[in-house]
Structure 1
Amino acid sequence: MRPLRIALLGSSNFPIAEPFAGGMEAHIWQLAHTLTERGHIVTLFAAEGSSVEVTGGNLHVARLELSAISKADITTPAWAVSEHHAYLSVMMDLAGELRDSFDIIHNHSLHYLPIAMSPTVQTPMLTTLHTPPFAWLESAIAISASPASSFVAVSEHAARQWAPVLGGVHVVPNGISTQRWPEGPGGEYAVWSGRMVPEKAPHLAIDAARVAGVPLRLAGPVSNSEYFREHVVPRLDDSVTYVGHLRQRELAALVGAAAVALVTPVWEEPYGLVVAEALACGTPVAAFDRGGIPEILTPVCGRLATADSVKDLATALVAATALSRSDARARAETACSETAMVDHYSELYEHMIGETTVRRGAA
């Protein structure tokens, strides 16, 4: 495949750097890294401090110093204006002075402006749908209708959620590097990893581990300090420990040395990157039967529990510890590979570029 000039749009608030703020940042890091390894010229839009090595450098994240009057406007949070300004600026640049700089724009942001402004950009833009159809995104899609804009979902579940809005949607599951997530030896404890927020519900993982009588280690950023303080900290003791926000290599070692990984979303998780990471480490998974997770887990590598049921999750935890670590690893290699993910994206890039060329020739 010929080298392409690719602009990746991430979050204006979180850098693509370790330790990652969440699964989105980990995903963009892996995609940027693999595309660069394949010889593509990748340029990144993400918050200052991003450290993934890309050959195309970084797009400027514009910041706005509001006037005193604007700052006094209690109806509009300053963070929302900052985010709006950053995406408005980059999209205007892509439609203006950077209009000939890229072959493809790959949008991973959760902001509505890249989608809403896609008709102003002559470069084809692919948007990966990492969430359900939130209202602002749905509104942007309803008015954009750009022939050079396409969408993919990260799971069949997510595609079904978006079907009433977009009709049929391509599915490209997220992928991970099985080299960066090596098979570990296993151990005696259970592990939970992810953002410490209510929708990820680590407190339910703690409760299930207690019912099962298995020690638990938790890792991840405290993204909601009030939730962490009220629902996680009171549950910590000698058998349940929070080990902090780890870098990728440290997290892989922690997950690989666990007997089982617990995954406890109380919302419809579109994919479940932590499931793929655990399986790559050879660690079987016990998870709530929600969202895209059942598409990853099979009976040989994990157990699904009734959503929100601590008792059922405890049973699934015990059952999962008896599963083969080599089978878990094999599942990750066949179903969660970043190679397959980038192959799919590469095909879509070429198709979209070709379609755009045809439209321009017919104009």
Structure 2
Amino acid sequence: MSVERRLRICLVASSRYPIREPFAGGLESLTHALATELGRRGHRVTLFAAPGSDPALDVEELPVPAFHPSPAARRDVNAPSERWMAEHHAYLGLMLGLARDGHERYDVVHNNSLHHLPVAMAPALRAPILTTLHTPPVPWLESAVLLSPGSSVFAAVSRSMSAAWDHAVPSTPVLNGVDVARWRPGPGGGPAVWSGRIVREKAPHEAIDAARLAGVPLVLAGPVADEAYFAAEIGPRLGPDVVHVGHLDHRALRRLLGRASVALVTPAWDEPYGLVAAEAMACGTPVAAYDRGALPEILGEGTGALAAAGDVPDLARAILEAQRCDRALVRRHAERHCSLSRMVDDYERLYLALVDQDVAA
């Protein structure tokens, strides 16, 4: 998409994890890619993100100051955690600043965080605000949406997420994307790969069990975000045929996925999008995944195989089926449907519609 106007964009990210490699998760990776591509297209992007984010981006830190409640406050049995309070103050400071003069500095605000305050305080801003829904409905976000109807426009990272939020707010599906110029096809033929944060809700232990049942060696790549889960369910399952290679940057992960024969995606919840599936397909690697959330939207015919959610024997069947897919076809599907360029085209259309609507008002 060719946009003649260059916009001043305020991009609001997470205050919890820095926007830099190795990324804590898909949200951080996606935010980095979005900010980079918007800048490459000539837009002036200011990224509000956690300290330690990539200095190559124009970052204004969301400071999360240490908060030490008084002894009296600590006695409150309903008191939120100190981290919760610190993040609350970080976003409160950001939104108060945007309410003061954000309309003079930015043409549009794109809220890419999971925090409730950018949604709840949207009526205080004179600049138009777009919020992307990255997660199924959660109480703090749903209450913020209902508190300020009509003050923010919403996108959702998949049709599945849009439908999940439909009871509370309408949203435009904008499927996530990956930079297919960087995620290049590889030769395949190697072990299966599972990548992501190692937490119970992503169920890598079921990927291990299914790979063993299929007789396919497996490599796990990703940060251990739940030490107790890793100790109970992952560590005891590791062995010569299943290894954990740790938290990889994108260069190493691209090499790993390019050599893989199949990528496994095993959510124990309704996956909002499934960026790891798009990354794998961009490398030409077919996907064996549970039929949950947005994954049926991402996979196309001949790009992998779906299994019934939580059904390990069916996932083993899907692994063997996916391995027979044509890697060139898988790559072409990613280029057409999972690209960063397509995603940013969609966001540019939403930005311009918001800016034109704001000017007309």
Fold in common (TM above 0.5): yes
> Which 10-residue stretch deviates more, 74-83 or 325-334?
74-83
What is residue 8 of structure 2 aligned with on the other side? Answer: 5
Alpha carbons 2:62, 2:91 under 8 Å: kept: no
Tell me how far apart the structure 2 counterparts of residues 60 and 245 of structure 1 sit (CA, whole Å): 25
Compute the displacement of 1:100 (Å): 1.3
Compute the displacement of 1:159 (Å): 0.8
Relative to structure 1, is the Cα distance of residues 235 and 349 closer, same or farther in structure 2, using a 3 angstrom cutoff?
Answer: same
Q: TM-score, normalised by structure 1?
A: 0.95
Structure 1 residue runs of 5 or longer lacking an equivalent are none
Structure 2 residue runs of 5 or longer lacking an equivalent are none
Among 106, 109, 133, which residue is 1:102 paired with? 106
Compute the displacement of 1:145 (Å): 2.0
Among 348, 351, 355, which residue is 1:349 paired with? 351
Alpha carbons 1:33, 1:52 under 8 Å: kept: no
Structure 1: which amino acid aligns with 2:319? L
Tell me how far apart the structure 2 counterparts of residues 200 and 301 of structure 1 sit (CA, whole Å): 21
TM alignment of 1:1-363, pairs within 5 A = 1=3, 2-51=5-54, 53-54=56-57, 56-69=58-71, 70=73, 75-147=79-151, 149-166=152-169, 168-359=170-361
Q: Give a deviation string over 1:143-182, Cα, whole Å, max 9, x none.
A: 11244x200111111111111111x421100011012211
Tell me how far apart the structure 1 counterparts of residues 216 and 159 of structure 2 sit (CA, whole Å): 33
Compute the displacement of 1:271 (Å): 0.7
SS in 1 for 2:60: coil
Alpha carbons 2:102, 2:127 under 8 Å: kept: no
Compute the displacement of 1:241 (Å): 0.1
Compute the displacement of 1:320 (Å): 0.7
Indicate the RMSD between aligned Cα atoms, in angstroms: 1.3
Tell me how far apart the structure 2 counterparts of residues 9 and 169 of structure 1 sit (CA, whole Å): 18
Tell me how far apart the structure 2 counterparts of residues 73 and 327 of structure 1 sit (CA, whole Å): 59
Tell me how far apart the structure 1 counterparts of residues 252 and 41 of structure 2 sit (CA, whole Å): 27
Structure 2: which amino acid aligns with 1:159? S
Structure 2: which amino acid aligns with 1:238? P
Alpha carbons 2:102, 2:125 under 8 Å: kept: no
Compute the displacement of 1:68 (Å): 3.6
Tell me how far apart the structure 1 counterparts of residues 64 and 279 of structure 2 sit (CA, whole Å): 34
Relative to structure 1, is the Cα distance of residues 72 and 51 closer, same or farther in structure 2, using a 3 angstrom cutoff?
Answer: farther
Structure 2: which amino acid aligns with 1:91? M
Relative to structure 1, is the Cα distance of residues 60 and 156 closer, same or farther in structure 2, using a 3 angstrom cutoff?
Answer: closer
Compute the displacement of 1:3 (Å): 1.2
Compute the displacement of 1:53 (Å): 2.4
Q: State how many pairs are aligned.
A: 356
Alpha carbons 1:116, 1:144 under 8 Å: kept: yes
Tell me how far apart the structure 2 counterparts of residues 84 and 146 of structure 1 sit (CA, whole Å): 23
Alpha carbons 2:122, 2:129 under 8 Å: kept: yes
Compute the displacement of 1:67 (Å): 4.4
SS in 2 for 1:314: helix
Relative to structure 1, is the Cα distance of residues 286 and 293 closer, same or farther in structure 2, using a 3 angstrom cutoff?
Answer: same
